[in-house]
């Protein structure tokens, strides 16, 4: 924003509550150094033109924040060339706590140092709560998937009982039968992993571009479900799933290897 113009950008929800649109004129009242106004000491008043409306997706900002140029803000609040605070952006998020403690020791009262975790405590508490429940849900999903693989392979074993009996009567060893059904489980796992990853990536791209899944921002602090495509996460989940598929294939493979040729003839 140009410092010579009295322009302002306000949050979408705030604009909606005040029935404001781009191009409208608004009056802003500013207290002088947080002093309550009196008849002898009135607040500063100025007129601004709304040149933009922003939507961050977070109610805290969209419902109460407005932005003007630094020069205009200094004049409006009568603080001269001073500023009321700094925002520091770090390249390494793991250093936030240590830097907060360091600056807190250097900048004593009346200065205050707060990290993003302290400023947005409610949001991060909510995120931690979600992180505690998500692993439980994922474990249940994985457990169901493992039983599905076991059930599918057991059905294949039952259907191929005669074939297994014939193979064993022709001299196939138990180890060879185990390998055959383990390979079936591996193939099922690989196909499932590939299809699952492709479907997950497609759904995530749709959500990122179109925000299909929305949230009540007054409850969840944001209006859409935030997603992050992480190659490391996909690789980790794929590897764990593959190992579980192999593990789940062991039981049906062992059962198949124990089939006796004579029993299969009676079964057939």
The residue among 116 and 263 whose pLDDT is bigger is 116
* pLDDT (tens digit per residue) in 78-114: 888 998 899 999 989 899 999 999 999 998 888 899 9
Whether 163 and 202 share a structural domain: yes
Round the average pLDDT of the chain to a whole number and report it. Answer: 86
Lowest mean pLDDT among 110-124, 153-167, 242-256: 153-167
- Shared domain for 197 and 94, answered yes or no, is no
Q: What is the pLDDT of residues 14-70, one digit of tens each?
A: 999 999 999 999 999 988 766 677 776 788 899 999 999 998 878 888 999 999 999
Total number of domains constituting the chain:
3
Q: Which pLDDT does position 18 carry in this prediction?
A: 94
User: Any residues with CB less than 8 A from the CB of 115 and at least 6 apart, and which?
Assistant: 96, 97, 100
By the 8 A CB rule, do 245 and 149 touch? yes
Q: Does 227 lie in the same domain as 168?
A: yes
Query: Is residue 110 located within the same domain as residue 211?
Result: no
pLDDT above 50 for 3 = no
- Structural domain ending residue among the three candidates 104, 119, 134: 119
Identify whether residues 210 and 196 lie together within a single domain: yes
Same domain, 183 and 133: yes
If you average pLDDT over residues 173-182, what whole number do you get?
Answer: 89
Residues 150 and 258 in one domain: yes
């Amino acid at each position: 924003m140009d410092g010579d113009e009295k322009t302002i950008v306000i949050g979408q929800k705030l604009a909606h509550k005040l029935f404001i649109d781009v191009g409208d004129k608004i009056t802003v009242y500013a207290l002088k150094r947080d002093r309550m106004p009196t008849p002898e000491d009135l607040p500063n008043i100025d007129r601004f033109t709304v040149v933009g409306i922003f939507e961050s997706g977070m109610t805290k900002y969209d419902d109460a924040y407005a932005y003007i140029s630094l020069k205009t803000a200094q004049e409006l609040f009568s603080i001269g060339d001073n500023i009321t605070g700094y925002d520091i952006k770090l390249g390494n998020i793991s250093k936030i706590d240590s830097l907060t403690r360091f600056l807190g020791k250097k900048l004593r009262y009346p200065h205050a140092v707060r990290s993003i975790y302290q400023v947005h405590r409610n949001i991060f508490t909510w995120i931690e709560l979600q992180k505690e429940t998500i692993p439980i849900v994922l474990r249940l999903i994985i457990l169901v998937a493992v039983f599905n693989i076991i059930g599918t392979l057991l059905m294949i074993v039952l259907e191929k009982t005669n074939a297994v009996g014939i193979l064993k009567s022709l001299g196939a060893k138990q180890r060879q039968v185990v390998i055959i059904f383990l390979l079936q489980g591996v193939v099922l796992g690989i196909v499932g992993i590939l299809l699952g990853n492709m479907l997950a990536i497609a759904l995530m791209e749709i959500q990122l571009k179109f925000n299909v899944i929305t949230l009540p921002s007054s409850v969840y602090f944001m209006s859409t479900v935030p997603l992050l495509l992480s190659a490391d996460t996909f690789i980790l989940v794929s590897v764990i799933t593959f190992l579980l598929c192999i593990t789940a294939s062991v039981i049906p493979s062992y059962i198949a290897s124990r089939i006796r040729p004579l029993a299969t003839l009676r079964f057939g």
